[in-house]
Chain A
Amino acid sequence: ETGVTQTPRHLVMGMTNKKSLKCEQHLGHNAMYWYKQSAKKPLELMFVYSLEERVENNSVPSRFSPECPNSSHLFLHLHTLQPEDSALYLCASSQRTGMNTEAFFGQGTRLTVV
């Protein structure tokens, strides 16, 4: 069982669809993150949840809606996306104790918006 599991691995959706990405971590961490990875761009942080509370939202459009029901699960709800939202969406988790910030990533969901 891997530390951070994302489902689905691949998703193709139309611009009018509603879908959700799921992330589950089995590492006992207390913080979870969503990152977007587009071609030829650095990883972009989208959302940070610490102790199930959203602590950062990096000016992400409202068509992306995160949900963190508990410390092990994180969702990213998608609706009315645009083709430029096609990217690899990565979930990560970390144990926020002191200054340590080692983030462990899932395998990602490859999203294509058509």
Chain B
Amino acid sequence: GQQLNQSPQSMFIQEGEDVSMNCTSSSIFNTWLWYKQDPGEGPVLLIALYKAGELTSNGRLTAQFGITRKDSFLNISASIPSDVGIYFCAGQRIGSNTGKLIFGQGTTLQVKP
């Protein structure tokens, strides 16, 4: 089935460093969402994007909806230990009217204090 290609699969960084991850699709999307999941919990919505080119921030997090509508990236600035977790991108394809989201495989982030 349709999948999003999310990269990198995992990252191990030093506290204070900036982080960047992205998702690409072969289809055009009308929605991009970024979630974070802590161990044993459900994903929590971080940022929602609805327009091509849109750049949105949430604290130290910044995400962009690619101009081609086939990609999105998430940046985390000045990482801290509580940023540890799995980050997922999710999108809805153009023409979909059932609310179906397609998820990336996730990026596991580890932060060394």
Task: List the interface of chain A (C-beta within 8 A of B).
Answer: 4, 6, 31, 33, 40-43, 45, 48, 50, 55-56, 90, 92, 94, 96, 99-108, 110
Contact = CB atoms under 8 A, between A and B. Distances in A.
Given A42-B3, A50-B98, A100-B50, A110 B45 contact: no
Given A99-B31, A101-B31, A102-B33, A50 B45 contact: no
Contact of A99 (B4, B30, B33, B105): B30
A8 to B, nearest CB: 13
A102 B48 contact: yes
12 contacts: A42-B104, A43-B103, A50-B99, A92-B42, A99-B50, A102-B33, A102-B48, A103-B33, A103-B90, A105-B35, A105-B42, A108-B42
B98 A55 contact: yes
A21 B104 CA distance: 25
Contacts of A108: 40-42
Interface residues of B, number: 26
B44 interface: yes
B85 interface: no
B21 to A, nearest CB: 15
A103 B100 CA distance: 10
A42 B92 CA distance: 15
B66 interface: no
Given A42-B3, A42-B105, A101 B44 contact: no
